[in-house]
Amino acid sequence: MVGADGEQLGVMTIEAARRRADELDLDLVEVAPLARPPVCKLMDYSKFKYEQAIKAKEARRKQALVVLKEMKMRPKIDSHDYETKKGHVSRFLKQGHKVKVTIMFRGREMAHTELGRRLLERLATDIADFAQVDSPARQDGRNMIAVFSPRKNQQQQPPKPAAASQG
């Protein structure tokens, strides 16, 4: 038996523990039913439940909501369209979202899935400064999927200096 302020009260019968709880106007709560003998504690159960609810609410408030954005491409994407989509992916990652990139194959393109794999590898190297690969390229029916997430240490990294142009 454990008292309301955490002190050990020793082993006692259930009746004695209930009498003690009634005297102190507290509840007798079994906290470790599998222990031998079972451990009970004197506490105000409604106050305990209220404090647990407050802690849970605080934990939910501090929890970051991870959003999964999706970007779809084709294996024969034009270079300008690729740059535009890459810009969208990098913007999502810099905002802290995960990004799922899907390469969609149609018809005879399924015979050349290596084009999609190369495209995803190219994207991974292009955004490697601020993103990491969560799940590498994998075939899923007529689609090839890869998931990227922002790097944890991207805020601490100083920006890379631009290469001096020689001319």
> 13-51, pLDDT tens digit by residue?
889 889 988 988 888 888 888 888 888 998 888 888 999
Residue 18 lies in a domain: yes
Range of the domain at 40: 14-60
Q: Are residues 48 and 24 in the same domain?
A: yes
**% of the chain at pLDDT higher than 70:** 91
Q: Are residues 145 and 73 in the same domain?
A: yes
Q: Are residues 30 and 73 in the same domain?
A: no
Q: Are residues 117 and 74 in the same domain?
A: yes
Do 53 and 46 touch, CB atoms closer than 8 A? no
Q: Are residues 18 and 91 in the same domain?
A: no
**% of the chain at pLDDT higher than 90:** 30
Q: 55 — alpha (psi -120 to 50), left (phi > 0) or beta?
A: alpha
Q: Are residues 33 and 102 in the same domain?
A: no
Mean pLDDT computed over 55-73:
84
Q: Are residues 74 and 102 in the same domain?
A: yes
Q: Are residues 76 and 140 in the same domain?
A: yes
Total domains present in the chain: 2
* Dihedral sign (CA 30, 32, 35, 39): negative
Residue 21 lies in a domain: yes
Q: Are residues 30 and 77 in the same domain?
A: no
Q: Are residues 84 and 120 in the same domain?
A: yes
Query: Which tokens in the block code for residue 99?
Result: 């990004």
Helix axes 113-126, 79-94, angle to 10 degrees: 50
Residue 8 lies in a domain: no
Cα Rg of the chain (Å, integer): 29
Residue 54 lies in a domain: yes
Rounded to whole angstroms, the Cα distance separating 16 from 38 reads: 14
**CATH code for the domain of 21:** 3.10.20.80
**Over the chain, what is the mean pLDDT?**
85
Rounded to whole angstroms, the Cα distance separating 50 from 4 reads: 16
Residue 100 lies in a domain: yes
Q: Is the pLDDT of residue 4 over 90?
A: no
Residue 158 lies in a domain: no
For residue 91, name the pLDDT band (cuts at 50, 70, 90).
very high
Please tell me the predicted confidence (pLDDT) of residue 81: 94
Task: Name residues whose C-beta falls within 8 Å of residue 24's C-beta, 6 or more positions apart in sequence.
Answer: 4, 42
Q: Are residues 88 and 55 in the same domain?
A: no
Residue 6 lies in a domain: no
Q: Are residues 76 and 138 in the same domain?
A: yes
Amino acid letter, residue 65: L
